[in-house]
Amino acid sequence: MRTLCFDFGSKTIGVAVSDPMGWTAQGVTTLERKNDALDFQAIDQIMKEYQVEQILVGLPLQMNGQEGTQATSVRKWVQKLEVFLEGKTPVLFWDERLSTVAAERVYSSRVLECSPDAFIFILGGIMKRFLSVFFLLVFIIAGIFCLNLFLFVTTPSGEVGQAMTIEHGSSLNKIVNDLQERGVISNVLLFKVTLFLKHAGPKVRAGDYHFDPHLRPPQVLDQLMKGDFARRRVTIPEGWTMREIANHLAQQGLVNTDAFMTKAKDPLLIQSLGLSVSTLEGYLYPNTYEIYQPKDEAELIKKFVGKFKEMYAKNFEARAKEGNLSQQEIVTLASMVEKETGNPEERALVASVFLNRLKKGMPLASDPTIIYGIPNFNGNLTHQDLTTPGPYNTYINAGLPSTPISNPGEASLRAVLYPAETRYLYFVSKNNGTHQFSETETEHFRAVRQYQSPHGRHSETLPTAPRTP
């Protein structure tokens, strides 16, 4: 903003003007005072020439801050000037006592006339004070901004992975806003600054993305620039239930848990996969998968079941035809073996116990089946749980539970189809990851007394072995 500055004297008027930014000032002229009309016309000409937007007039206050005769005279002159200008240009006063020492020296030598050089000092003082405050504010704001930017680029994103599709032709604003809505970034403005600093705007590639939990903004940006599309390495461990798998995939941002569970029980989807079961529990094959962002939950379910069918046909289909068990019965038994032992050397032994009991018509009495049937199991299996009827209570019901209770791996399926040749009917945990196997109930009770607490087997929170009800 260009400012016209006056230093008012009895015979002359010192005139100075600032640069367009209002940072510096230079003397223009010294007007010889004639009469107000001619003086105002000369001032109007200068204002038009320099395109002045405001006027600053030095007000000669006394040292005690009071207005004397000279200050009153200046105010009256300014009032006339404002009338001449019709109020179109604002007129401000400047306390001349606040001028620099250099200006004071100029004023101390002034008697009846005033040089524009003096007012340059006054205006210069204003500008210096203004610039000092201005640069201080700039410094403070820049410091705060840099701190926020540092915290932004070093702070990871949310707890849950997020999937996102960037369409071809998407604007940068839409991309950044979508990232914020999904919790991948926390601040749109600061992410745009990061994009600008890395000249990354034109390099963002369209496609399907998956952003891991806890990514920092520079990592998000690198992924967008590299076109690191949403291929994920996902591992499903042996023995996980369908819900555990759904929760894990949901945490990775790949599915919705409830939608996954619903689809895994969808009769039409199950039929399309060539299975005659009520649920896909047991058929979501444990493995490590390379997964791109699925279009829906059914896509992943088909992938897992397809892998199961491929593995089963290759390794076990011929063997299964030699026995009397259906595929569903084999998978159900394998899911129980998977839950009963984590010791590879014991799988075939555990399978033999279950198969021997089935042949004799004995209840399988497996704790993991009961646990599977208890919603939100708290880790404490009670006597009431053992005696409460239900489709998964293998203490009460003869035969297998109504569905598999987990998704077994190849080793447990193999144990069921190639069980150890034993006459074992019982086993009990030794509390060291292994079990004691017994052929008779007497041997089994002896093992229970040896390895379990004196308060009975169900004082333990860990499931133990079958026994005669």
Domain boundary among 315, 339, 368: 315
Give the pLDDT of residue 332.
98
* Cβ atoms 351, 415 nearer than 8 A: yes
Query: How many domains are contained in the chain?
Result: 4
The reply to whether 182 falls in a domain is: yes
DSSP 273-300: TT---S--TT-S---EEEEEPPSSHHHH
Per-residue model confidence as pLDDT tens for the chain (469 residues): 678 887 777 788 888 888 776 666 677 888 888 888 888 888 888 888 888 888 888 888 877 778 888 888 888 888 888 888 888 888 888 777 655 444 444 444 443 344 455 555 555 555 556 667 777 888 888 888 788 778 777 888 777 778 787 877 788 889 989 988 888 888 888 888 888 887 777 778 777 787 888 888 888 888 888 766 667 789 999 999 999 999 999 998 889 999 999 999 999 999 999 999 999 999 999 999 988 778 789 999 999 999 999 999 999 999 999 999 999 999 999 999 999 999 999 999 999 999 999 999 999 999 999 999 999 899 999 999 999 999 999 999 999 999 999 999 999 999 999 999 999 999 999 999 999 999 999 999 999 999 985 544 443 333 344 443 3
The reply to whether 383 falls in a domain is: yes
Say whether both 335 and 443 belong to one domain.
Answer: yes
* Cβ atoms 77, 36 nearer than 8 A: yes
Identify the CA nearest to 397 among candidates 457, 332, 331, 330.
Answer: 332
Say whether both 211 and 288 belong to one domain.
Answer: no
Say whether both 111 and 45 belong to one domain.
Answer: yes
The domain that contains 183 carries what CATH number?
3.30.1490.480
Say whether both 384 and 442 belong to one domain.
Answer: yes
Say whether both 104 and 33 belong to one domain.
Answer: yes
The reply to whether 468 falls in a domain is: no
Say whether both 53 and 171 belong to one domain.
Answer: no
Say whether both 27 and 49 belong to one domain.
Answer: yes
The reply to whether 216 falls in a domain is: yes
Q: Which residues pair with 233 in a beta bridge?
A: 290
Say whether both 38 and 103 belong to one domain.
Answer: yes
The reply to whether 433 falls in a domain is: yes
Q: Which domain holds residue 387?
A: 324-459
Give the pLDDT of residue 98.
56
Give the pLDDT of residue 11.
82
Say whether both 270 and 364 belong to one domain.
Answer: no
The domain that contains 29 carries what CATH number?
3.30.420.140
How many residues belong to the chain?
A: 469
Say whether both 252 and 278 belong to one domain.
Answer: yes
Domain boundary among 291, 315, 339: 315
Domain boundary among 258, 293, 315: 315
Say whether both 192 and 225 belong to one domain.
Answer: yes
Q: Which residues pair with 435 in a beta bridge?
A: 429
Q: What is the CA radius of gyration of the chain?
A: 44
Q: What is the C-alpha to C-alpha distance for residues 426 and 465, in angstroms, rounded to an integer?
A: 7
The reply to whether 454 falls in a domain is: yes
Give the pLDDT of residue 263.
98
Say whether both 17 and 127 belong to one domain.
Answer: yes
Cα–Cα distance list, 437 to 263, 359, 432 (Å): 40, 18, 14
The reply to whether 371 falls in a domain is: yes
The reply to whether 467 falls in a domain is: no
